[in-house]
């Protein structure tokens, strides 16, 4: 091709638009020898802390041991850093309310105002500060997903507003970004045209006749494939196949005995389906450069979700007050391992997505943690933190890093900002510089 394709090129048909993955044909010819792939940031939250005895590797350094909870990371261990010893002291509540205060502060590192009224006060979150800088390059500045949702009105935890418990992404001091919990709505947000080229009537007819988004753009896709090299044709074909499969999975009917829903609901069967759909959606949204920033809540702060498919009928929050009961520890380990397994699936999908001389994971930074360390003690020190991806080669991976003297979590956030090309020297209440020893 004489000129590279635009990185924001779309397939279009009948008013429907679909983003393209990052293809070699989009790269300037002179740039093939270097990586010009954009960097992406994803934040993942899990509720109620972690059973740290089964989480923390025994020794620091490279090739850390995979503890029971970290065992699902075996295939991607070389792309992961385990960080031990960081503290988010601004997350400590005024009195009771560790889950809400910790969740509100999860990505802001700000001390939130204790209120269950309209006068909430927090700060901009890490993901949204990155989106302010890099979001203008993509159709979606950020993608904010979750699996539980709920309104922000009223109190949810010892006098703290539900807005704190139900949001990790904040646009500003009093404005949570709001999480999308419907896979269908999230799919339409990513793959539907954001400029409303697909009319509500067309969307209705497409659903009625079970037409895929791809049905309307395939002629455009065939024309584009004729202009691409063999590698790009294969990548485009795999991408379109994956998008169609994702849409099919979202639209499939739910077992009538699973929940009382219409015959063709837009809802998955259970939490396992929801999480799989949302993580796949994050990968496709990043792959086609629809967004470079995403966040995902695997439950709200202090979630009391049960996990019967793991043999855990008790609620998570209830179990997290384990009182050093070995049976409670065993069940918490099952839940925590499942949570890491979902994150590992996201990382594996990203590692298997080629981009430039590496993978989507190589060019990304993915943060994983919880609002507290231990659910029984409600500590905001020694937080369970995983950080994956090399940020385009700027970050060494495959290490267990142990930090002394409880450095602020916000210093890690400053480092993340800098790795993402945001030059801010401070962040949150106590992020007075980058985290020494990370880079």
- CATH number of the domain located at residue range(s) 39-196+271-419 in this protein: 3.40.720
- Give dist(CA 398, CA 66) in Å, integer: 11
* Other CB atoms within 10 Å distance of the CB of residue 47: 27
- Give dist(CA 90, CA 45) in Å, integer: 17
Answer whether 301's CB lies under 8 Å from 157's CB: yes
- Quick one: which of 401, 387, 420 has its CA closest to 76? 387
- Give dist(CA 65, CA 74) in Å, integer: 10
* pTM, entire model: 0.85
Answer whether 86's CB lies under 8 Å from 385's CB: yes
Q: How far is CA 302 from CA 192, 231, 233, 308, 380, in A?
A: 33, 46, 46, 18, 14
- Give dist(CA 199, CA 16) in Å, integer: 9
Q: Which residue has the tokens 């210093």?
A: 411
Tokens linked to 211? 């037409």
Strand partners, 368: 44, 386
What value, to the nearest 5°, has the Cα angle with vertex 256 and ends 251 and 259? 90
Q: Where are the beta strands (DSSP E) in 162-215?
A: 170-172, 175-176
pLDDT of amino acid 245: 82
Q: How far is CA 391 from the centre of its chain?
A: 15
Query: Is residue 402 helix, strand or coil?
Result: strand
Helix (H) or strand (E) holding 13: strand 10-13
Q: How far is CA 64 from CA 56, 73, 74, 80, in A?
A: 10, 11, 11, 10
pLDDT of amino acid 1: 41
Strand partners, 387: 81, 367
29 phi and psi, to 5 degrees? -60, -35
pLDDT of amino acid 44: 98
Q: Where are the beta strands (DSSP E) in 318-431?
A: 354-355, 358-359, 364-370, 385-388, 399-402
Per-residue pLDDT of the chain (439 residues; tens, 9 = 90+): 445 677 667 787 766 677 778 787 776 654 443 457 899 999 999 999 999 999 999 999 998 999 999 999 999 999 999 999 999 999 999 999 999 999 999 999 999 999 998 899 999 999 999 999 999 988 899 999 999 988 878 899 999 999 999 999 999 999 999 999 999 889 888 876 433 455 666 666 656 555 677 787 887 888 888 888 888 888 888 888 888 888 777 775 433 222 222 233 345 578 999 999 999 999 999 998 889 999 999 999 999 999 999 999 999 999 999 999 999 999 999 999 999 999 999 999 999 998 888 999 999 999 999 999 999 999 999 999 999 999 999 999 999 999 999 999 999 999 999 999 999 999 999 999 999 999 9
Q: How far is CA 55 from CA 138, 306, 337, 389, in A?
A: 36, 21, 9, 20
Answer whether 22's CB lies under 8 Å from 248's CB: no
Q: Is the Cα dihedral 344, 345, 348, 349 positive or negative?
A: negative
Query: Is residue 45 helix, strand or coil?
Result: strand
Angle, in degrees to the nearest 10, between helices 126-134 and 409-419? 20
- Quick one: which of 433, 359, 278 has its CA closest to 37? 359
pLDDT of amino acid 355: 87
Answer whether 87's CB lies under 8 Å from 383's CB: yes
């Amino acid at each position: 091709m004489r000129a590279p394709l635009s990185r924001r090129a779309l397939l279009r048909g009948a008013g429907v638009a679909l983003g393209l993955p990052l293809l070699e044909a989009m790269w300037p010819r002179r740039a093939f020898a270097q990586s010009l792939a954009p960097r992406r940031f994803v934040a993942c939250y899990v509720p109620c802390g972690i059973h740290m005895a089964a989480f923390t590797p025994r020794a620091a350094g490279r090739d850390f041991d995979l503890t029971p909870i970290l065992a699902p990371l075996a295939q991607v261990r070389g792309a992961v850093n385990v960080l031990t010893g960081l503290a988010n002291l601004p997350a400590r509540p005024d009195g009771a309310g560790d889950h809400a205060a910790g969740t509100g502060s999860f990505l802001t590192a700000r001390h939130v105002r204790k209120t269950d009224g309209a006068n909430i006060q927090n700060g901009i979150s890490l993901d949204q500060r990155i989106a302010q800088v890099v979001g203008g390059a993509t159709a979606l500045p950020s993608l904010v997903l979750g699996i539980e949702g709920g309104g922000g009105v009223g109190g949810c935890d010892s006098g703290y507003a539900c807005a704190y418990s139900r949001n990790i992404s904040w646009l500003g001091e009093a404005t949570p970004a709001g999480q999308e919990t419907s896979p269908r709505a999230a799919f339409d947000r990513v793959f539907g045209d954001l400029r409303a080229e697909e009319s509500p009537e067309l969307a209705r007819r497409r659903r009625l006749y079970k037409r895929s988004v791809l049905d309307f753009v395939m002629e455009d896709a065939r024309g584009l494939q004729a202009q691409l090299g063999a590698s790009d044709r294969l990548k485009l074909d795999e991408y379109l196949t994956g998008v169609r499969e994702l849409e099919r999975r979202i639209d499939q009917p739910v077992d009538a005995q699973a929940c009382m829903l219409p015959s063709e609901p837009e809802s998955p069967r259970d939490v396992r389906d929801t999480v799989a759909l949302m993580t796949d959606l994050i990968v496709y949204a990043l792959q086609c450069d629809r967004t470079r920033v995403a966040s995902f809540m695997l439950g709200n702060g202090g979630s009391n979700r049960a996990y019967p498919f793991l043999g855990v009928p008790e609620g998570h929050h209830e179990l997290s007050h384990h009182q050093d009961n070995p049976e409670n520890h065993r069940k918490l380990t099952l839940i925590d391992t499942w949570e890491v397994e979902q994150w590992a699936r996201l990382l594996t999908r990203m590692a298997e997505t080629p981009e430039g001389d590496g993978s989507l994971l190589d060019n990304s930074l993915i943060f994983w943690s919880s609002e507290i360390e231990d659910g029984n003690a409600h500590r905001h020190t020694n937080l369970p933190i995983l950080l994956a991806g090399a940020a385009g080669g700027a970050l060494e991976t495959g290490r267990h890093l142990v930090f002394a003297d409880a450095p602020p979590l916000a210093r890690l956030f400053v480092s993340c900002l800098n790795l993402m090309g945001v030059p801010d020297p401070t962040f949150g209440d106590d992020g007075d510089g980058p985290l020494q020893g990370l880079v």
